[in-house]
Amino acid sequence: MCSKPCSQVCPSHVRKLAAKPHMATTKGDQDLVQLLLQRWSDPESGLDKATEIQYDVFLSFPDPERPNRVTVVLENNTQAFESRETEEKLTPDQENPDIVRPYAAYGPPGTPKGKLVYANHGKMSDYEFLLNQKIELNGTIAITRYGGAGRAAKAINGAKFGVIGVVVYTDPKDINDGKSSPKETYPHSWYMPRSAVERGSYNSHFGDLLTPYYPAKNFTYRIPEDQIVGIPPIPTQPIGFEDAKLLICNLGGPKAEAAWQGSLGCDYHLGPGFQENALFPNTSNVQVNVYNQRQIKPSSNVLGVIRGSVEPDRYVLYGNHRDSWVHGAIDPSSGTAVMLEITRILGKLVKKGKWRPRRTIIFGSWGAEEFGLIGSTEHTEEFYSKLQERSVAYINVDIAVFANATLRVQGTPPAQSVIFAAAQQVKTPANASVSVYENWKHHFNRNSSVYGTIPSLGSLGAGSDFAPFIHFLGITAMDIAYTYDRKKTSARIYPAYHTAFDTFDYAEQFIDPGNGRQLPNPLGCFSASWGEKLPNILAFCNTAAVLKSLHLASYGRF
C-alpha cells in the first residue's frame, strides 16, 4: 500500500466530483453524499460500516433574485459603474447555472453608501494608519485586499472606525506574481483571471453559529441571531481585480506608501473619494448592495469505518470536507478523490483478508466546511467524550494537491515520527530514486538539535477541519498536501482558489497533470501506520523544551 503508484482512478474521481458545483446543502452536495454512502456501503468495498449523520446548521446565501453588487453612484443618484454579477465564461464550466454568484457568506444585508477609502488588508493597524494620516473613516466604504487579516476581520475592524461597508478583492501582487493581463492569466496560465472572485465564509469562528459547543440537532437550544459574534457587522462584498482596478486607480487623496501598493497598474491612493478629472466625479459615492439571506438547512457528514482487529475501541480518524464554493476540483475534490482511493485500496486488502488495522480507522466526509468547519465541529461536539478518550490521531486532507512539487505537512509534534517513517517508504513520481521524505526535506527543512536536518513540520492553526480535533479535543493531528515550489511563485495559495475557475480543466492543465497521483501513496502509508503505531511523545517533549527556552529568553520567569 506504500509503494504502488496511484492508478488512473484518482483523476476519474476528480472529474466526477468536480463535474458540477456542490456548495453545502445544494443538490450537488446531496448527490455526493449519496455517492459516498453507496461506495462505502457496498459489500465489495471492504469497509465494515457506512453511515450518514445530519445536522441542522445556520448558513448564509445570496438572494437568487437580487444579485449583490458594488456601484458608483453620482450626485444625481444615477449609477456610473457596477461590478460584475458573475465571472467571465472562459470555458464551458462557467456556463453552469448552479454557480453561486460571488458573495461574502454571513455578511449582513444592506445598501450603505459613502466615500471610498483604500484600507490595504483591513487590519486594525491599517485602519489606525489611515486615522494617523488624517483620513476620515466615519461613514466611508473601505476597499481592502485579501490577505493579512481574516475575511471577517476586515469588516469587524473597519466597523470599529466608523466604516459602513467593505469591498474585498484579490490583488494580482498577492496571487498572480503581479500578472494581470488576459494573455497572462487563465486559461493561458494558472494565474487568476481578471473577473475571478474569491468567495468565502466571513465567519471567524468554527462550528454552527447558533449552537456553540453543542451539536446542531433539532432538540438543541439556539442562541438568538443578534448574539452571534465573529461575523461582519456591516455589509461586505468581494469583487474581481478587474472591477477593483476601476475603483482604486481613480481614488484621490494621499498616495499610499510602498507596502500598500499592488499590481493593478497604477499608483494606489488612500481617498476618501475620487480624484479630480478622473473616470468618476469626485462627488461620487460608492454603494455596497448586499441582499444575503440566512437559513437553517440540513447538512450531512458521511462516515466509513474499517474496524480494528486488536483495539477496535481506539480510533484513527481521516477526514476531508466534501462541499465546495463552486466546482471545487482542487478545494476539496482533490482531497475527496484521495480519500476515495485510499478507502478503495485499504478496503480491498481487508476484503481479501490480507490486512486489517490494529485500530479502527474512521473516514469522515464533512459537510459545510466552507461556512466555518461546521461538519467536523458538529461531529466533535456530538461525540466529544468518546472521541477525546479513544482517538489516537486525526489526519486531515483538505486540498490534497496545491501543485506537484513537494509534500507539505502541518502537524503536532507527536505525529512527526510516523509521518517521517511513512514518507521514507514512498518514492516521488518524478524520480524513482528519491523518496518523498528526501524531496520534502529539500524544499522545506530545519535543523534539529536531536535529529539533524529534517523536513519542516508546519504548525496547525484553525484553517481546516483539523481545528476542532486539536483545539477542542486536544488529540494528535496533521494536515497533509502536495504543494508548489515556493521559490518559483509568491502566490499565497493556488490562484483559482474559491472561484468559478477551480475546475477539472484547471487542475489537469496547471496544478497536477495526471491529477491525483502524488498523494494517495504516502497517505495510504500514514493511515495504515497510525492503525498500528502510537505517537512519539519524545518529539512532543523536545518541542516543549525548545519552546520553554524561547519563552524564557524572550520574557524571563514570571
Query: Active-site residue numbers?
Result: 369
Taking the C-alpha atoms of residue 6 and residue 539, their distance in angstroms, rounded to an integer, is: 31
240 to each of 102, 197, 261, 300, 462, how far by Cα in Å? 9, 5, 17, 32, 26
DSSP 235: -
Exposure b/e, 5-31, CB count within 10 A at least 16 = b: ebeeebbebbbbbbbbbbbbbbebbbe
- Could you check whether the bond before residue 187 is cis, i.e. omega within 30 degrees of 0? yes
| 3-state secondary structure at position 279 | coil
CB 301 within 8 Å of CB 61:
no
Which contiguous run of DSSP H or E holds residue 505? Answer: helix 504-506
Taking the C-alpha atoms of residue 107 and residue 104, their distance in angstroms, rounded to an integer, is: 5
CB 194 within 8 Å of CB 117:
no
462 φ, ψ (degrees, to nearest 5) = -145, 30
Taking the C-alpha atoms of residue 428 and residue 63, their distance in angstroms, rounded to an integer, is: 47
C-alpha cell at 126: 491599517
